[in-house]
Structure 1
Amino acid sequence: MIYFGLVLSSLTELFERLINLGAFYLSPTRLFLLVLAYVTYIGYCGMANGTLRIGPSAKRFGLAVLALILLTALSVTASDDFEYSGKRALNTTSIYLMPLVVYLYLSVHSTKYPAEILLQKAGKCIVYSGLVVALFGFLQEATGIFQVSREIRFIGPIPFTRINSLFMDGNFLAYFLIFPLWLAIAGGEELTGISTRGVRLTIAALIFLALVLSGSRGGMLMLAAVIGSQVWYKFVKGRRGWVLAIELPIMLALPFVLLAYAYYGFEHIYANVNTVDTGNESGYSRILAWYAGLKLYFSHPWLGIGPGNFVTMDKGNLLPVNYVQPWVALRISTLAGHSNVLEVLVESGPFALAAYFMVQLSLYFALLRASCQFGDSRFAIYRSIVFATVVGNLLISYYFLFFMILIGVLLFALDREAFKRASPHVPRAASVSRMSAVVAGRR
């Protein structure tokens, strides 16, 4: 079931939107109740048969999620439309509970999912899903099938139509493609189940081409982040302090530097907009949305304006009249924040934003601990991906269901490894030997 859900949710964003289509319609409230009921059920099953073991990584992540849920719920009281914001908060809650649902399910059925096999099959699901998505993107470029809008970009002098494949948006597509691309390049057989290096690199080349055709500069930034993270990790030989010295300031300080520049440096940006954003308006539109968003935040600095309200507010009225044409202001009023960081801050306040960072960093630190202290290259690869996604979350307003499922898988694998090392009966050498035997048996 885990592999099935991971494949479907990584193949297409449309799977996530089934909850809003026809007979499949479920309001956010009902979705939340279904998730809550399933969590309760598998928790009961695990406690009844004594198979439920919650490890340290899941506990830290769960506490951070609980804090985010409670603070988001508190911010609902600041909304003018309590019912609307309440449903939006429940929808967000159900998404953030997904990793814990997956974790509990895997814990209850732990004998069916050895951590080594689980990571390998999960990686294989993602890599081959990325290949399918890339091939569909090429078909879209050649035929125009399911092309939502025709947006022309350039690679040097060569024009191309920006693709979105099955993700409805080129930026969402690029965000997803980072996962299969980096696993195919750096994951090896351990994380992909693909024994031939040439096959992995061929798949990586096809996925990279799809990433380029997505026309997402944020996607290319994430690719640079994931490569840079892994190069730095190897350069400092996995020393935890040196890794954190570079990556922690980037994850925590970069969002505030860019948002502050968008607000306090707006006049300078406007004067140099042609150099800031050449060829299209996507970069400048982000600056406008961020500027308006911070205007909203400063008027509601503690609890925010309520979940979901960023897209309903007339942000155009908050833009500088002398700099922004009326049609631009009208367009900005219909845009999202183009940043998960900004939306959490504006809608739920600074304490919820702190919890939001705690959720991301709890996973990052767990992966960093496993990769640095125990030299586990599998978790080092995922650590670099998580670092890139934290950077990417500054530039996108979306929560990916496939990533939430994958987080549950990673937490489970991290805690199984922790249980092994804590057990006096299973030394580290035995764990390594078991992993080697698993890999050898699949050749």
Structure 2
Amino acid sequence: MFFFMLLYLAFVLVRPQDYPDWENLGIPILPILLVAAFLFWLPSRNKDLSAPQYLLLPAFLLVLMVSQIFNGWMGGAIAQLSSFGPAVLAFLVLSHATVDRKRVVTTMAMIVACSAVLSVHGIEQVRDGIGWTGIGLSQETRIQYVGIFNDPNDLGLLFIMALPMAMYLASRGGLLGLRRLFWWTGGGLLLYGIYLTSSRGALLALISVLGVWVWRRRGVMMAAILGAGALGGVMMLPSRMGEIDAGEASAAGRVDAWYSGMEMFVAHPLFGIGPGNFADNNFNLTAHNSFVLVIAETGFFGYVFWLAFVCYGFMMMLAVLRHEPELTEPAAIAEWKTERSIAMTLLLSQVGFYTATFFLSRSYVILLYLLAALVLGYYVGARQRYPGLPRFELSRDLVRWPLAAVGSIIGLYLLVKILLVTS
């Protein structure tokens, strides 16, 4: 099972099946690998479906299907099952495959290695004007890749997710320092790749990652000072990365799209306008915000499920960081330190990923659900190793998540109104 999921992950990220010379072969490599992994998982006796995410994600898929029916397209339910169903299946299998801590680290290594390959491709694009895929630069200046990474912003999203993992892998040392050097090099490639994407969302995500890391290490005040200084430095950059301003044309367009999304929600509050229909209702322009996209397209019901699914990932990693087991043996203390380091790594990856998606319409992309699976798999394993960690149950939070959804919708609406006034 784990072997096939690693292969699946590699093909999702490196995507040789999307190379111009290969894409006409017609071999559905991703479905084949995913089904193979699922078939190996199916007879496993170690299934644990008690985590809230195992109920929330299928419920979200159901809302996607019902939303299409409510908006007059019966066939849309089957279309959503076909398009989003693989993400649910990949989440199910990968989360079970990564309960073992060594597998978590191996999966992180695969993500970093594949991401570094994409960064090298981008460096080749900048040097030669075209990469080995046959794909050139976007807008003549920004690196891009093939398939789901043909947008520079998506590359930045992947790089910022993988960067904390590279830093963790580099911190482990070994092999006379060669392993540390290898992963530091990978981290450097990812950092340079973020710069080459010229993605303002990725840069803000990087600042957020650094801010949270400093907050956990040095406190809120130092994190705030660092964040303010970093943001000021970004504003002084000579490129488009320095144009982070609600009055700038691209940013103003985002704010207008967010406002349109809130209007769509008001008009269709229960199940939204249907997944994939935002652009059709906004002059062929996307939402530029994953949260607004879910609110507009799936309504209140879909947003409650999706928001809870996302937030549980953060809560689980924070639970590990806040847990203080009573340990006396040096070996046990060292093991717990490793647990905390992995939890911090996955927390930072989530912070970077969701900060970037706040400026992108990426609510349904497979990358989000693979990261969520890795987070859940790690936490399930951590609870097996440290039973004192809290057990999260959806039945205890039946009031929390609707209230959180209402509060965040109101907060987003107020933010949009403020940005519209200031722009």
Deviations 1:43-78 (A, max 9, x none): 6412xxxx324175xx22112213322322322222
Find out whether 1:377 has 2:341 as its counterpart: yes
Counterparts of 2:174 and 2:166, CA distance in 1: 7
Q: Give the drift of 1:219.
A: 0.4
Counterparts of 2:244 and 2:217, CA distance in 1: 38
Deviations 1:397-418 (A, max 9, x none): 2344345334333322321221
Change (3 A) 1:22 1:8: closer
Q: How does 1:18-417 map to 2 (within 5 A)?
A: 23-24=26-27, 39=38, 41-42=39-40, 44-46=42-44, 51-54=45-48, 59-84=51-76, 86-104=78-96, 106=97, 115-145=100-130, 146-147=134-135, 150-151=138-139, 161-166=141-146, 167-190=149-172, 196-236=179-219, 276=246, 278=248, 281-311=249-279, 313-315=280-282, 333-374=283-324, 376-398=340-362, 399-417=364-382
Q: Give the drift of 1:222.
A: 0.9
Deviations 1:154-187 (A, max 9, x none): xxxxxxx111134211100000001232222344
Counterparts of 2:102 and 2:357, CA distance in 1: 29
Deviations 1:300-344 (A, max 9, x none): 122211222223x242xxxxxxxxxxxxxxxxx223222221221
Counterparts of 1:337 and 1:55, CA distance in 2: 33
Residue of structure 1 in register with 2:385 after alignment: 420
Counterparts of 1:226 and 1:63, CA distance in 2: 29
Counterparts of 1:346 and 1:192, CA distance in 2: 49
Counterparts of 1:276 and 1:68, CA distance in 2: 32
Q: Which SS does the other structure have where 2:386 is aligned?
A: helix
Q: Give the drift of 1:189.
A: 4.5
Counterparts of 1:367 and 1:16, CA distance in 2: 37
Counterparts of 2:356 and 2:85, CA distance in 1: 21
**Contact 1:185-1:200 within 8 A present in 2 as well:** yes
- Letter in structure 1 aligned against 2:154: F
**Contact 2:129-2:137 within 8 A present in 1 as well:** no
**Contact 2:164-2:346 within 8 A present in 1 as well:** no
Give ranges in structure 2 of 5+ residues lacking alignment: 225-242, 325-336, 389-423
Q: Give the drift of 1:286.
A: 1.8
Counterparts of 1:36 and 1:121, CA distance in 2: 21
**Contact 1:75-1:348 within 8 A present in 2 as well:** yes
Q: Given the two structures, how large is their TM-score scaled by the length of structure 1?
A: 0.67
- Letter in structure 1 aligned against 2:8: G
- Letter in structure 2 aligned against 1:4: L
**Contact 2:92-2:373 within 8 A present in 1 as well:** yes
Q: Which SS does the other structure have where 2:46 is aligned?
A: coil
Q: Give the drift of 1:205.
A: 2.2
Change (3 A) 1:43 1:134: closer
Q: Give the drift of 1:391.
A: 2.2
Deviations 1:116-157 (A, max 9, x none): 3212221221222122111100111122224466425xxxxx
Counterparts of 1:184 and 1:282, CA distance in 2: 32
Q: Given the two structures, how large is their TM-score scaled by the length of structure 2?
A: 0.70
Residue of structure 2 in register with 1:267 after alignment: none
Q: How many residues align?
A: 344
- Letter in structure 2 aligned against 1:338: H
**Contact 2:161-2:352 within 8 A present in 1 as well:** no
Counterparts of 1:150 and 1:390, CA distance in 2: 24
Q: Give the drift of 1:4.
A: 1.9
**Contact 1:219-1:392 within 8 A present in 2 as well:** yes
Q: Give the drift of 1:360.
A: 0.8
- Letter in structure 2 aligned against 1:169: D
Counterparts of 2:275 and 2:182, CA distance in 1: 45
**Contact 2:170-2:181 within 8 A present in 1 as well:** no
Change (3 A) 1:148 1:306: farther
Q: Give the drift of 1:206.
A: 2.5
Counterparts of 1:301 and 1:192, CA distance in 2: 55
- Letter in structure 2 aligned against 1:99: F
- Letter in structure 1 aligned against 2:87: I
Change (3 A) 1:306 1:55: closer
Counterparts of 1:339 and 1:291, CA distance in 2: 11
Residue of structure 2 in register with 1:322 after alignment: none
